[in-house]
Amino acid sequence: MTALLRYQADLLLRSQRWLPPVILYAVFLGVGVQSGQPVLNSLGYTAAALLPVAAWLVRVCVTGEPPAARACVAAARGPARAHLACLLTALLAAVLLGVAATVVVTLISTPVSDGHRVHIAPLRAAAAGLPVVLACASLGAAVGALTSHPVLRSTGRAVPALLLGTLLAVVSAGSPAQAAISGLVTGSRTGRAHIALLPPTVAALCTAAAFAAAAWLAGRRSP
């Protein structure tokens, strides 16, 4: 699996197809996060913006490898494992991006609650924000896995489904990402940085299920 991950990571890095989603994320953050704003609010925004970016990164990884090259790798290791490596690479990229953004946003934000009433220690804020960022990264990757090859094979259906899926994952009640983000926003209002571990756990389980389903399907559906 290490060899597969290295191959996929190298493929992603060298293809430079990671640039558009990363630039999109930078633009999201540039518009929504300004230095001096309350830290938890900004971290909530950072996490929410990561979800569609993670989904796009999965799409980049899944569609980036030409089918014949994919077949060579799949013959050696089985199509399921080859596809899983592809999804994990995208998830890893999204997590790295999210962690970097969390650090930057924590540093440039003011460690206070809304209205500058309560002081929130930056480390505490980052500890509360990081699980939310991870929940969004993994849920975004799950949406990406379920809306690209081999689950949805035509681009015409896959892209709208991806957009709709990420929107629902961010706003709909009951989504672990939405629960985690609103936890941060509430914390920003009350001044209590609560570290919630339930949403990221639920998100991780959703992602595991989505990845397993997509990988299983990769071995049954020809391109």
Footprint of other proteins on this chain (CB under 8 A)?
3-4, 6-7, 10-11, 14-16, 65-69, 71-79, 219-220, 222
Distance between CA 179 and CA 201 in Å, rounded? 12
Smallest separation, CB 122 to other proteins (Å):
39
Show the DSSP H helices in the chain as ranges: 2-15, 19-32, 39-64, 67-77, 79-108, 122-146, 155-171, 176-190, 198-218
- Nearest to other proteins of 116, 220 (CB atom): 220
SS3 17: coil
Smallest separation, CB 222 to other proteins (Å):
5
Smallest separation, CB 152 to other proteins (Å):
15
Smallest separation, CB 176 to other proteins (Å):
32
User: How far is the first Cα of the chain from the last one, in angstroms, to the nearest whole number?
Assistant: 22
Nearest to 28 by CA among 56, 55, 48: 48
- Nearest to other proteins of 79, 199 (CB atom): 79
- Six token digits for residue 65: 């490898």
- Nearest to other proteins of 115, 223 (CB atom): 223
- Nearest to other proteins of 204, 212 (CB atom): 212
